[in-house]
Amino acid sequence: MNDFRDPIHLQLEDGSELRQHALELERSNHQHQQQIEQLQQQLAQERAARQQAEERLQLTLFSAQTVAWDMDLVASWVSCSPNALAMWGLQEGPSEDFFALIHPDDRQQIREAAQRALAGELAYSQEYRVIGPDGATRWI
């Protein structure tokens, strides 16, 4: 079948379709922009809440003279709360650096407990002494 419409009329119809499509894209873009703005606001609120929780945790740890720490037994790496630097003289580093802080009489007990944890024992609850940078002995 032949289209007997003149080329100018076809161009006008194509232009109208293009304008309609452009308007739909603009509406879609506007909706996406609104969603992005909402998500950015939500993210900012969540970051502020997380920051506030972190500040409360650090204040609690400092007030209680307590250090929070995590030992990656596979990588042999220890990460601690920021107040560990003042209490222990270290905040993060190889496990051996932290084992060196443990009172000599308690090191073997802690090494054995760490090995049991590495072997799959889920419960890890130990009491031991550490020697701080000021030479003071503290119980953990």
Q: 43 phi and psi, to 5 degrees?
A: -65, -40
Residue 138: count of CB within 10 angstroms of its CB: 17
- Cβ atoms of 91 and 82 within 8 Å: the answer is yes
Strand ranges in the chain using DSSP code E only, listed in sequence order: 69-72, 77-80, 92-94, 129-131, 137-139
3-state percent helix, strand, coil for the chain, nearest multiple of 5 = 55, 15, 30
Q: How far is it, in rounded angstroms, from Cα 49 to Cα 117?
A: 33
What are the pLDDT tens digits along the chain (140 aa)? 555 555 555 555 667 788 888 889 899 999 999 999 999 999 999 999 999 999 998 899 888 888 888 888 789 899 999 888 888 888 999 989 988 999 999 999 988 988 888 888 777 788 899 898 888 898 88
pTM of the model: 0.56
